[in-house]
Amino acid sequence: MLKVAVFNFKGGTGKSTTVGNLGACLCTRDRSIVLIDLDGQRTLSFSLGLDGDLPTALDFLSEREVTPIETSVRNLWLIPGALEMFQLSADEDLFTPALDRLSGYDICLMDCSPGLGVSSVQAILSSDRILIPVICEPAVLKGLSEAVQLIRGDRPEVPIDVVRVRYRPRLVMTKEADDLLTEAAPELNFRLLKTCIPEGVAVAESIAHSVPVTVYAPRSAGAKAYKSLAKEYLKVWYGN
């Protein structure tokens, strides 16, 4: 199983939105995707309509038998978040044995909370790749280089992919941020993905409707972009 931590130290950069929508575009009849909501805010769980009294990521990491729940999208599974995620112990590696129990799935996307709490550190330590969503604003490089440095402190060689979200191509600041990111990629050793997810009302609205944008508005620019992102990723990950 390929394990991907979706991380950014900065809050509100589209981590949860990326996990839900990318996951929905990666799963097929033959490819099962499991999402883990590691954030006490539980945005991912809400956005997929699974925020009730359910077994959580905290149970799962505490070695309790937890079966992921299938979402409204076939073969897209979720382990919901827990408000008490902050209780997670920093003393032992809980992720490696827990993730081993998910070996029947093909890809696991972990939605990290902002900042660098215990769960984010452990997700970073146990993943095969890291995905960082960024918004093309003037301070994009500062936030990104901080996130990359934090990751590299523990995982000097792990592949890092960067995806631009809430993308507004017509803005001058977007073009400036694009140039900064392109220039910084070799130096900071990350891959800047070609696909950008546009800012769009359908993506935001789909969250309130508890379904991915591909279900809520399949023909929207956001839905098409997430499908392209999934294709690009599969190429990067598996070379096909």
Residues that bind ligand ATP (CB under 6 A): 11-17, 39, 41, 43, 113-114, 165-166, 197, 199-200, 203-204, 207, 222
Q: Give the shortest CB-168-to-ligand ATP separation in angstroms.
A: 10
164 binds Mg ion (CB under 5 A): no
Backbone angles phi, psi at 6, to 5 degrees: -100, 110
Helix (H) / strand (E) containing 238 = helix 221-238
| SS3 state at 125 | helix
127 or 184, CB closer to Mg ion? 127
Residues β-bridged to residue 161: 131, 191
| SS3 state at 133 | strand
16 or 45, CB closer to Mg ion? 16
Name the one range near Mg ion by CB under 5 A: 9-17, 21-29, 52-60, 143-151: 9-17
Q: Give the shortest CB-105-to-ligand ATP separation in angstroms.
A: 22
113 or 210, CB closer to ligand ATP? 113
Determine the Cα–Cα distance for residues 213 and 204; give it in Å rounded to an integer.
8
DSSP class per residue in 165-196: EEE-TTSHHHHHHHHHHHHHHHHHT-EEEEEE
22 or 107, CB closer to ligand ATP? 22
Q: Give the shortest CB-189-to-ligand ATP separation in angstroms.
A: 22
